[in-house]
Structure 1
Amino acid sequence: MLLINNHETIRANFKRAKVLIIEDSNDHWMLIKNVMQQCLPEVVPVRVDTPDKALILLHSWTTQEWEIPKLILQDLYLPDRADGWYLLDQIKAMPSPCNRIPVVVLSSSNARKDIEEAYRRGSSSYLVKPTNYEGWHAFFQELRAYWWETVTLPPIQFSL
């Protein structure tokens, strides 16, 4: 029975699976895109490179259930840390369902204050960016195992 439920969870998580990637580094984006194609071929990555573009896109998706991403990967330094905090605050202040999308903060910083602040502001996870291709590959394998094959993501529900 567990195997059937796990299979159903995986199938439900991949249904119309989209990940919003908020990353201002073109080099990191190219790595992310290439590794995602290998590790998560079922998932459509959508990239924006500024907080403003992310908010515009999320606001446009609030009335289009099929567009809502299952997960947001957000760089903390966009290009400054203040920009990342601003964006995370704005996402968490949005109406449902956007404010319920899990946000994984990615950063080169492993500073305790950054990690604590990310969780205080509502991030679902904080991950230090890998430093090489192998690290990114391992990261996305773990991301797949956890966010797509283990957890049950909430269904999209719009506030009326």
Structure 2
Amino acid sequence: MAETDKRAVNNNFRQATILVVEDNQDHWTLIKAALQESLPEVSVVWVASAEEASTYLENCVANEQPLPKLMLLDLYLPEAEPAWQLLRTVKTPNSRFIRMPVVAFSYSTNREDISELYTFGGTSYITKPSDYNQWLLYFETMRSYWWETVTLPSERY
């Protein structure tokens, strides 16, 4: 790997946090374990609602703390509207959070959900894995793409 490529990867890991917005405790337990195994260098923050996610992001700004490098957003918390509202707020033009990638996940394979996600500025959509090994594979792939391939925005937006 070229030296400049290594620096980009290292910057992705620098003060890296993933914000996970997931209302289901059992899903969170699987996600947390798989993330810790796949991305041990990355801090993971869990919130159970869109309101908690908004508060966390606003507190990062108010306290001049680095923003998450990535948000994982469950589309049904347990209803969809709070997640859609959070996504619209984060991706509103001039939002301090607009460059933060938002990866949505859900058991839904509804084409309308997927289309709306991209319309509102979501970065990608995955169907929730159903067991730990599938979560682990997903996060290993995520590590390769989001942390080792692309260059993420700086931690201060």
TM-score (norm 2): 0.93
Matched, 1:32 2:31: yes
Which residue of the partner structure matches residue 78 of structure 2?
A: 79
TM-score (norm 1): 0.92
- Aligned partners of 1:55, 1:105: CA distance in 2, in Å? 16
Give SS of 1:30's match: helix
Which residue of the partner structure matches residue 9 of structure 2?
A: 10
- Aligned counterparts, 1:1-160, within 5 A: 3-93=2-92, 95-158=94-157
1:17 Cα offset (Å): 0.5
Give SS of 1:98's match: coil
- Aligned partners of 1:97, 1:113: CA distance in 2, in Å? 27
Aligned length: 157
Identity of aligned residues (%): 41
1:95 Cα offset (Å): 4.9
Show structure 1 runs of 5+ residues with no match.
none
Give SS of 2:151's match: coil
Give SS of 2:78's match: coil
1:86 Cα offset (Å): 1.2
Deviations 1:106-159 (A, max 9, x none): 11111111111000000011111101111101000000000000000122445x
- Per residue, is there more helix in 1 or in 2? 1
1:75 alignment partner AA: D
1:102 alignment partner AA: P
- CA root-mean-square deviation: 1.5
- Which shifted more, 53-62 or 138-147? 53-62
- Aligned partners of 1:96, 1:77: CA distance in 2, in Å? 23
Give SS of 1:144's match: helix
